[in-house]
Amino acid sequence: MFTFATPNRFGPLNEGFSFQVNEGLTSLVGLNDSGKSALLQLAFINLFDNGEYGAGRICLLLPERMYVLSSTETGGRSLEQFNTELRTAIGNTLIPYEDYSFGPSRRELPRLLLNHTDYQKQLQILTDYLGKLGMSNLVLRGSQLAHFENIAVQFHGTGLRSLFSILCALTDPEIRVVLIDEPELSLEPKLQKLLSNLLLEVSDKKTIIIATHSHLFLNRKNYSSNYLVTREGEIISVNPISQESQLFDLVFNLLGSSTEDLLFPGNFMIVEGVSDQIIVERILDLLEVDRYKVKIVAASGIGNLKNIISSVENALRPLVMNGSVYSKKVVVLIDKNEDPKVRDLKSLFKKRFFMLNEPSLEEYFPEEFYTRLSRNKGEDIQHIKSIKNNYEELNKFKKALSQQISASLTVEDLNKIPTIVSAVKKAIQ
């Protein structure tokens, strides 16, 4: 257990502020300007001032780590000197971001870490980690210039350069605590996930504390190692996640992640049949709703509604830790029906349950929808009743009728089918 505290005001942290974390991997999660970076710097100066860790067993990786020097030659500099200068730069106020040259040059940190102990042994571990991330090996050329894929490190993209310091810190056998401000910087999601897995692996040997905005860096192995950082005025709070289900709130509410970002639907809307599906999809087009916002699923009858809903939730359950993200979002639209199953559905879905005031979609449509197509509503409904026992013919006729009506619908028609439109709007909230 680590306790970090400040007797005096430290940046946004008030006098007497303290927080505790366990060994292993800790993720600090919060909105911008909530105080996460200040917490990392407080942890650094506490550890530096602690004789057990001092200047040679800790590493603070700040956001400007994307700048790197080309050579791994240290020029006589050491990690201990760097950390001592960084401790002085932080002082009792935090690092001021008004001049990049303030404090030691963060560009030299990778080479100081690589030359901190056993360079050859560390390079072997570094090669292994690079392989796990799907990246090429580090090769040293004349004057110990660092290259990846025959390109000098300083000419690579910001992702690799941002990773370089992290990997050097993780492979340094003497470093006991690694503090990383936004490990996700400049990394695509796939690489973020790989790095997150690597951090979790290394955290068996080192304590790693990160401040992040990415849900991919949450500690899913131990949910209580994720801490929510909040700020109310001048009061900053750091609270561990107390139950697994809170990860849902972190990912989808605090961090604003969405199933739509992964090209999954934002929600599902369950309707009775294909005819309903055709009409609802047309309404979505008229409302100019993005196609990933809601997925319309035809249940093919009231008896199948519950099975369809369960399938939707179970298939996508891995999206969250403890239940489907859709479990409290799915909307149901059915024809007027007095079956006891309907009462059960209404009780289950409450305000997400919609029922037409007519026993069929065709009867619900106003007469004018038929008239403008040179059709007769009464005759069409009578025909539907006459073929109700011929499922194939019935389905074909109803689908063709819905397609015609759908093609003729305009924005001005939406107020004439209020129940369907209300259901659609509820699904896209």
State which of 129-138, 245-254, 294-303 shows the largest mean pLDDT. Answer: 129-138
Going by pLDDT thresholds of 50, 70 and 90, the confidence category of residue 24 is very high
Q: What HEC string does 233-257 produce?
A: CCEEEEEECCCCCHHHHHHHHHCCC
Going by pLDDT thresholds of 50, 70 and 90, the confidence category of residue 321 is very low
Per residue in 375-389, pLDDT (tens digit) is: 999 999 999 999 988
Question: Which of 40, 27, 23, 24 is closest to 215 using CA atoms?
Answer: 27
pLDDT higher than threshold 90 for residue 374: yes
Mean pLDDT of the chain: 86
Residue 81: C-alpha distances to residues 37, 86, 309 (Å)? 22, 9, 61
Going by pLDDT thresholds of 50, 70 and 90, the confidence category of residue 323 is low
Radius of gyration of the chain (CA): 30
State which of 19-23, 89-93, 324-328 shows the largest mean pLDDT. Answer: 19-23
CB 359 within 8 A of CB 336: yes
Domain spans of the chain, in order of start: 2-257, 260-427
For 2-257, which CATH class?
Answer: alpha beta
Pairwise pLDDT comparison (20 vs 327), residue with the higher score: 20
pLDDT higher than threshold 60 for residue 425: yes
Model confidence, pTM: 0.72
Residue 285 confidence (pLDDT): 92
CB 295 within 8 A of CB 267: yes
In this structure, the number of other CB atoms found within 10 A of the CB of residue 390 comes to 11
Residue 101 confidence (pLDDT): 64
Pairwise pLDDT comparison (334 vs 345), residue with the higher score: 334
Alpha-carbon distance of 416 to 409, in angstroms, equals 10
Average pLDDT over residues 212-236: 90
pLDDT higher than threshold 60 for residue 319: no
Give 223's DSSP letter: G
Going by pLDDT thresholds of 50, 70 and 90, the confidence category of residue 318 is low
Q: Tell the residue number behind the tokens 């289950």, with chain if given.
A: 348
Pairwise pLDDT comparison (278 vs 322), residue with the higher score: 278
For 280-349, the DSSP string reads HHHHHHHTT--TTT-EEEE-SSGGGHHHHHHHHHHHTGGGSSSS-TTTTT-EEEE-----HHHHHHHHHH
Pairwise pLDDT comparison (305 vs 322), residue with the higher score: 305
Alpha-carbon distance of 269 to 43, in angstroms, equals 48
pLDDT higher than threshold 60 for residue 333: yes
Least confident range of 162-166, 177-181, 338-342 = 338-342
Question: Is the C-alpha dihedral spanning 70, 72, 76, 77 positive or negative?
Answer: positive
pLDDT higher than threshold 80 for residue 305: no
Compute, in degrees rounded to 10, the torsion defined by CA atoms 354, 359, 360, 365: -80
Least confident range of 118-127, 131-140, 317-326 = 317-326
Average pLDDT over residues 289-309: 72
CB 37 within 8 A of CB 209: no
